Structure 1
Amino acid sequence: MTSYTQAKVEAEDEPQGAVSSGKFQKQSPSGFPSPVTLTQAPRLPSFSGEQKGETSFEVWKYQVECLLQNKSLSQQVVANTVQHSLRGKAATIAMCLGPEADLKQLISKLESIFGSVDRNQSLLACFYGARQGESEDVAVWDCRLEHLLNQAATQGSIPLETRSEMLRTQLWSGSKPDLRDLTAHVFDQGNSYEDLLRALRRAEADLQQRGARTGKKGATPNMAAVAVQGSRDEGDQGDLETVNN
């Protein structure tokens, strides 16, 4: 039995509706079976522009741009995928443009309605003024900071190498004081942004473990130092009163 015939028989034996595991649909010139490449239509998250908690326009647009970079997908496939992902107000806007509008026109229209309108200077001010929240862990803090910088970069030209240093500096300077104390040497040594991020996360994990052992939530080296200094001040004050008496 030839390879082609054997593959045909194996495919016929598989249950109906199942994705064929037929590894051989035809023989290649070398005599070896050629694999079959099965492709699925791409998907995008739904976007309406009116629901809280849904995918933001920036994230949705980024995923569209990723599809456009995929050379194996035609413009028509990407356009259909974009149309199917729109809901509510966004879908109404697409309908108003008409079926003859191309993908570039649709993205531009959605950008003008749902995209950021903040000026580059304002976005940079938000970036440099950002501080890690009291209950915000390092991973969430980093994601928020990167999002702020990405918004600013979208409005103005910021070189990639400059972005990395901007993130490194602001990630450390905007972190909680106890985390800065534990990672100051890493920052001063000029380590990369990724190395600094890992160091901050390790420091955060160490502080959490120490707090769990002591049974005091949020216990940090800074708080311990303040307590020690306070006891020393009380002792010095007592000694001073004794001398005066």
Structure 2
Amino acid sequence: MGDPKGKDNVTFECWKYEVQCLLRDRVHSRKVLTQAIRKSVRGEAGQVVMGMGVDPTVEAIVAKLEGMYGVVDTGSALLQQFYNSKQESGETIAAYGCRMEVSIQRVCERGGIARSVLDETLRTVFWKGLWNQRIKDIVRHRYETVRDFDELLRIMRVAEQEVSEQTGMHDGD
């Protein structure tokens, strides 16, 4: 987690994920992990950790920062936001797919949706939120048969590229 004004910012969720992976891997001692965590926080977050004294545990630091920067919306509120998501004008299919995948992961983490229906829900809401009807028309027959979101996203990206080439549109246009 960087200083909000700095260039090395990462979201709290990304920072927390890295810490969780380090804890799970058990490659480094707790002392080394705590030192790395203290060095990884900047700005306001760094001040908060400093205020915890010189020997807080990794779990205490994460819990403190979770309370300040973690997601506070309920799973159902996040699910409603997810259902209302649409592809933005000028947003690539890849960027839209990534945004939707991150969004539904948050919903799942907060108990708003079961993992067993995650992929199908993501696939359906992603499709409904696409704004380019021409691309949807090209891929519609595949949408009906492809059940895997990652595969659908790849197919959609290929169609997006084909449409872009046909219309003479290029990145940045």
Q: Normalising by structure 2, report the TM-score.
A: 0.88
Pairing 1:133-152 to 2, within 5 Å after superposition: 133-152=88-107
Matching residue of 1:85: 40
Q: Does 1:203 align with 2:159?
A: yes
- Report if aligned partners of 2:78, 2:112 keep a CA contact under 8 Å in 1: no
More helix by share: 2
Matching residue of 1:188: 144
Matching residue of 1:68: 23
Q: Partner amino acid for 2:157?
A: R
Matching residue of 1:102: 57
Tell me the CA shift for residue 204 of structure 1.
0.1
**Bigger Cα Rg:** 1
Q: Secondary structure at the match of 2:72?
A: coil
Tell me the CA shift for residue 51 of structure 1.
3.4
Distance 1:126 1:157 in 2: 11
- Report if aligned partners of 1:173, 1:180 keep a CA contact under 8 Å in 2: no
Q: Normalising by structure 1, report the TM-score.
A: 0.64
Runs of 4+ with >6 A deviation: none
Distance 1:212 1:85 in 2: 45
- Report if aligned partners of 1:47, 1:57 keep a CA contact under 8 Å in 2: no
Distance 2:27 2:58 in 1: 17
* Structure 1 vs Structure 2 CA RMSD: 2.1
Change (3 A) 1:52 1:172: farther
- Report if aligned partners of 1:164, 1:193 keep a CA contact under 8 Å in 2: yes
Where structure 1 has 5 or more consecutive residues not aligned to the other structure, the ranges are: 1-45, 219-245
Asked which structure has the greater RCO (Cα within 8 Å, sep 6+), the reply is 2
Change (3 A) 1:185 1:201: same
- Report if aligned partners of 2:75, 2:111 keep a CA contact under 8 Å in 1: yes
Distance 2:19 2:103 in 1: 20
- Report if aligned partners of 1:124, 1:149 keep a CA contact under 8 Å in 2: yes
